[in-house]
Chains A and B, each alone.
Chain A
Amino acid sequence: MAKMTLEQLRKLREEKKKQLDMRDPDNKQIHIVVGMGTSGIAAGAKDTLDAFLRCIENRGLTNVAVRQVGSFGLDYAEPTVEVVMPDMPRVIYGKVTPDVAEKIVLEHIIGKKLVENHVYDRPAADIVDKE
């Protein structure tokens, strides 16, 4: 570590703040919950998760927490993702590839519009769309 000038310290702080903000779930109103069950992982949930994180970082969104849970029970629609945010209905998305993940961030989280083709509901048989 070298001695800091005021400017360097400020720059360092901004940089580190971003990293630490990712850790801090307080005050984050938006939650993206990625299903990481066995079938989800097999279907590529890990890449989906990475895509969300990358996209959020690139857009500088500080209000979003990305969490992982076990399976949502929608095995045929993996990878599955739930998005929870104020002023929007709670939605489960299915077949969320990295591309779709980016779409969800842009359209759902930033644009406040549902990404229609990928909306799946809770796993009750009569509600789930016929594919």
Chain B
Amino acid sequence: MAYKQYVLICGGTGCESNKSDTIYKNFLSLLEKENLQSDVQVLKTGCFGFCEQGPIVKVLPDESFYVQVKPEDAEGIVNEHLIKGRPVSNLLYNKEQSKEFAKVDDIEFYQKQFRVVLRNCGFINPEDINEYIARDGYAALEKALFEMSPDDIIEELKISGLRGRGGAGFPTWRKWAFSKAVESDVKYIVCNADEGDPGAYMDRSVLEGDPHSVLEAMTIAAKAVGATKGFIYVRAEYPLAIHRLKVAIKQSREMGLLGEDIMGSGFSFDIEIRLGAGAFVCGEETALLASIEGSRGTPRPRPPFPAVKGLWGKPTVINNVETLANIPVIITRGGKWFSGIGTETSKGTKVFALTGKINNSGLVEVPMGTPLRDIVFNIGGGIPNGKKFKAVQTGGPSGGVITEEYLDTPIDYENLQKLGSIMGSGGMIVMDEDDCMVNVAKFYLGFTVDESCGKCSPCRIGGRKLYNLLDKISKGNGTMEDLETIKEIGHTMQKASLCGLGQTAPNPVLSTMRYFEDEYKAHIIDKTCPTGKCVDLVTYTIISDKCIGCGLCARRCPVNAISGEKKQPHLIDQTKCIKCGECYAACKFSAIEKK
């Protein structure tokens, strides 16, 4: 007998860290108590994307979307909803929708999304290979092994127009074709699951929510280029992803979908996991290979490209997790279907990790070419607290900012590049009027300087110099010449650095300078920070007309910088003030000015 109802509980990292595992266990034991185990199926899925609202519990077929669920809420959902058919309205995302079925599609966050990469995330149990198989899993592998030649596979990818999602957007078919063309006794397939960009977590979500799609894709790649061995390089900070991968590899080996003589086709391929220590530069392909080989993860010059000369000198195809997750769908549904999605130059969808000053942060998958405005204002629900949108940083530390006037630009590889940013891996950080662009640039440079491997001088020395110049400006000591110097160093680094880290490190500063020159000038000429973010340029003063002398600020000040008689205007001693902002936040009479 089939189940009557289904409870899907998000088992992504975000929700797990908010006790979704306890919620899962509570459901199991409550259902057992009510003797409903055979009526209601409870399962843990991957991330639903709407992490902001997690932990999320979805009930099917009603499509009730419960958000911010606590372990103790399980009881109400079981008793009211599952037993009596009355959804618990105060836990629903759309609270009004208590009577009719709460269609998930009605939730704005999901309306403009189109899920290809995340097709199974949040729907299947990632630790059960049967569920993946039921969703056409391994059907692409069947086709690739029994009906297609290596050239057919590559041709299908070429038709699809798929480009790498790891950053640079290199056509995937071409990389595979290079590797296929090389004669070699051994070839490798490597999945890049390093995901070092701050704020990005789509690769992690795919590994956690749909690990088999990556295994299947790697095996198809192996067949296409003639590889026998694969590695998944994943950072050790992703324990859940690693666990799910291990389970998936074990299950698919047991079923004979990985390993020797796959499905009796005569083709053999196996996959191993390699853990990375979490250095940003190890996501760069040549550094990654060095790390797998057991050496220190530093880049080497290319060419030779890894597709020709990679692991232990053998041809090696390296693809990003999201790139790979697209491949089974392309093989089953056809390259033509895939190329129907997206723009002229950028096909398919892209997953973005939307964070920062945004109402609905989470994972968002949209067709390429979707305007940024749709992502920020429709899916993302706009900026919290009635603040004004200022910019979006795309591409993380390798990218740049996009401003209001370009919000309607369709996002694809070329358009982002024209605006001085990049697609990158898909991190998208929204900034509002309170964010200072000098400070943002300084943050990213701080990151790349820390993460630089130090092998080549443009990056090692240039990055440090850029950081110091930004620091100087943020303290009010910058000069107009500094801006010229930044441009000079930046352009040199772009041209002369050995790897992508150094080549793209100046992007955040060059990009913010391009769009927010005034803000840089305010720091340099007026010695003020318009948003008050640069601590050294802010002064807190008490407006004596407004101050009623309540003394609240003085009590809060950690360094006793505020003095004054009761009911008399107070005064801040600027030499003592450490600019913590406590007094500003405390004053109920708006008597403290921040400038």
Give the B-binding residues of A (Cβ under 8 A): 1-6, 9-10, 12-13, 16-17, 19-20, 22-25, 28, 31, 34-38, 49-50, 53-54, 57, 65-70
Quick check: B62 and A67 within 8 Å, CB to CB? Answer: yes
Q: Is the CB of A3 within 8 A of B41?
A: no
With both beta carbons as reference points, the residue of chain B lying nearest to A12 in the complex is identified as B133
Q: How far is the CA of A25 from the CA of B264 in the complex (A)?
A: 36
Chain B neighbourhood of A35, CB < 8 A: 85
Contacts of A67 in B (CB 8 A): 61-62, 101
Residues of B within 8 A of A10 (CB): 142
In the complex, are the beta carbons of B2 and A4 less than 8 A apart? Answer: no
Q: Is the CB of A23 within 8 A of B3?
A: yes
Given A1-B251, A20-B131, decide whether A6 and B4 contact each other with a Cβ distance below 8 A: no
Q: Which residues of A contact B257 (CB under 8 A)?
A: 4, 9
What CA separation (Å) do A24 and B84 show in the bound complex?
A: 21
Q: Contacts of B255 on A, CB cut-off 8 Å?
A: 1-4, 9
CB-contact partner of B134 in A17, A38, A69, under 8 A: A17
Q: Which of B4, B86, B133 contacts A9 (CB 8 A)?
A: B133
Say whether B29 faces chain A, with CB atoms less than 8 Å apart: no
Residues of chain A lying within 8 A (CB to CB) of residue B60 = 23-25
Which chain B positions have C-beta within 8 A of A70?
Answer: 84-86
Q: Can you list 14 residue pairs at the A/B interface with Cβ under 8 Å?
A: A1-B254, A2-B254, A3-B254, A9-B142, A9-B255, A13-B137, A16-B131, A17-B134, A20-B131, A22-B2, A23-B60, A57-B2, A65-B61, A66-B4
From A3, A4, A6, A54, give the contact of B1 (CB < 8 A): A54
Q: Does B95 contact A (CB under 8 A)?
A: no
Q: Given the complex of chains A and B, what is the CA–CA distance between A65 and B142 in angstroms?
A: 31
Q: Does B485 contact A (CB under 8 A)?
A: no
In the complex, whether B135 has a CB less than 8 A from a CB of chain A is: yes
Contacts of B62 in A (CB 8 A): 25, 67-68
The answer for the CA separation of A23 and B4 in the assembled complex, in Å, is 9
| A-contacting residues, B119-137, CB 8 Å | 123-124, 130-131, 133-137
Closest to B130 in A: A16
Within 8 A of A (CB), among B133-177: 133-139, 142, 146
Q: C-beta contact mask, B1-27 vs A, less than 8 Å → 1, else 0?
A: 111111000000000000000000000
Q: How many of chain B's residues touch chain A, expressed as a range?
A: 35 or more
A112 to B: closest C-beta gap in Å = 22
Instruction: Judge whether B498 is part of the interface by a CB distance below 8 angstroms.
Output: no
Contact assessment for A53 and B85 in the assembled complex, using a CB-CB cutoff below 8 Å: no
Cβ contact within 8 Å between B263 and A9:
yes
Shortest CB distance A72–B (Å): 10
List of B residues within 8 angstroms of A16 by Cβ: 130-131, 133-134
Residues of A with C-beta under 8 A to B6:
23
**Given the contacts A4-B255, A25-B61, A70-B84, A53 and B130 also touching, CB distance less than 8 Å:** no
Does B451 have its Cβ within 8 Å of any Cβ on chain A? Answer: no
Looking across the interface, which residue of chain A has its beta carbon closest to that of B98? A70
Residue of A nearest to B81 (CB): A68
Q: Is B63 an interface residue (CB 8 A)?
A: yes
Which residue of the partner chain B has the closest CB to A10? Answer: B142
Hey, which chain A residues are within 8 Å of B63, CB to CB? 25
**Minimal Cβ-Cβ distance residue in B for A22:** B2
Whether, in the assembled complex, B558 has its beta carbon less than 8 Å from a beta carbon of chain A, the answer is no
- Are A4 and B263 in touch, CB under 8 angstroms? yes
Which residue from A2, A9, A68, A69 sits with its C-beta under 8 Å from B138? A9
B3 CB, nearest partner CB in chain A, Å: 7
Cα-based distance from A66 to B4 in the complex (angstroms): 8
Tell whether B454 is near chain A: CB-to-CB under 8 Å. no
- Given known pairs A25-B60, A25-B63, A65-B61, the reply for A19 and B134 (CB within 8 Å) is yes
Chain B min CB distance to A74 (Å): 14
Chain B residue numbers with a CB within 8 Å of A66 are: 4, 61
The CA-CA distance from A34 to B62 in the complex, in Å, is 12
Q: Which residues of A contact B265 (CB under 8 A)?
A: 6
In the complex, B256 has a CB within 8 A of chain A: yes
Cα A53 to Cα B6 in complex, Å, equals 14
Q: Is the pair B146, A6 in contact by a Cβ cutoff of 8 Å?
A: yes
Does the CB pair A38–B84 fall under 8 Å?
A: yes
CA of A4 to CA of B264, assembled, Å: 8
Are B256 and A28 in contact (CB-based, < 8 A)?
no
Measured between beta carbons, the chain B residues less than 8 angstroms from A17 are: 134-135
CB contact between B84 and one of A4, A25, A31, A37 (< 8 Å): that residue: A37
> 9 closest pairs, A vs B, by CB?
A3-B256, A16-B134, A36-B85, A20-B134, A68-B85, A25-B61, A65-B61, A70-B86, A1-B254
Shortest distance between the CB of A26 and any CB in chain B (Å): 8
What is the CB-to-nearest-CB distance from A47 to chain B, in angstroms, rounded to a whole number? 12
Are A68 and B133 in touch, CB under 8 angstroms?
Answer: no
Question: Are B2 and A36 touching (Cβ within 8 A)?
Answer: no
**Please, which residues of chain A bring their CB within 8 A of the CB of B4?**
49, 53, 66, 68
Question: Is A6 a contact of B85 with CB atoms below 8 Å?
Answer: no
Whether the Cβ atoms of A12 and B256 lie closer than 8 Å is no
Given A23-B6, A68-B4, A68-B5: A6 and B133 within 8 A (CB)?
no
